[in-house]
Amino acid sequence: MAIRDWLGDAVHIRDGLFRHVRFLPTASGSLYMSLYAATDPGPGGPRLVVCPAWHADGDYGFEIAHHVCAGVALHGGVAAMFHWPGHGESDGDPRTLTMQQLVAAGEAVLDEVIGDHGPGIVAVAGVQVGAVPAVAVARSRRADRLLLIEPDLDADAHFAAIERTARRTSLGKDRPPDWAASRFVPRHLREAPVPTAPLLPADPTRVTRSAAIRYEASTPIGLDGVEEVVVPGSRRRRSPDHHLALREAAIDWLNRTTGRADA
């Protein structure tokens, strides 16, 4: 499907930027996907998929994912975010969800972007615990860029923290087993291994780069070969500007490293 074919069904946002929502058929059911592109995206520009955060940080993670996709599209790229299986508008059961299913979802969305709009600089981003499957997607699809946004690479610790918060806020209330923050805790995701460096293996045929964008109050990622970009603030405090510094730093890095910053 060429970009002109789907513009008629897309929503015009601003300045030639369009957003198109579709549902991809996958093994786990229908997968919600939101794609951003300019009316005339540049040839060879970045083809980006953003793996969002999990439900407990959904608003925070979705805001960042949507804004990063739009920022890359405004500079001539094509970018998409999606809802995990069993999460948001996507089909599936979060109680039985595995890391393999998350990775397969990210791969399906990235393949759709590339298949519809042609080859370009392949980029993968992950927000918070979405960084774990993002690393696997980037490796399997031989991505040129990998960007981790406020990453939580230890899935077990991430979901354990969600459970602790849920227990503190629901004292004296009956909750179903494995229930926290209004969603089931995905037990199988807690078993996900921590990605190790190099996040993107060296490939002599292409230029690969990895980076982490994080708040100054967050723990350094500490992996060789991963550039760190630090912005003021903390994710623990609700951001009145929708995490502007964090998402603008992410957009800047992607556009700068793909040669689109001045497009």
The structural domains of the chain, with segments of one domain joined by +, span 3-257
The pLDDT confidence band at residue 2, using thresholds 50, 70 and 90, is very low
Residue-level pLDDT at 55 = 64
**pLDDT over 90 at 57, yes or no:** no
| Tokens standing for residue 189 | 């995701």
**pLDDT over 90 at 94, yes or no:** no
CA distance linking residue 76 with residue 46, whole number of Å: 8
User: Which architecture does CATH list for 3-257?
Assistant: 3-Layer(aba) Sandwich (3.40)
Buried b (16+ CB within 10 A) or exposed e, 222-260: ebeebeeeebebebeeebeeebeebbbbbbebbbebbeb
Q: Which of 61-65, 80-84, 215-219 has the least mean pLDDT?
A: 61-65
CA distance linking residue 124 with residue 88, whole number of Å: 21
**pLDDT over 90 at 171, yes or no:** no
Pairing verdict, β 17-26 and 29-38: antiparallel
Residue-level pLDDT at 66 = 92
147 contacts 211 by C-beta, under 8 angstroms = yes
Residue type, 159: F
The most confident of the ranges 20-34, 97-111, 170-184, 228-242 is 97-111
Residue-level pLDDT at 239 = 62
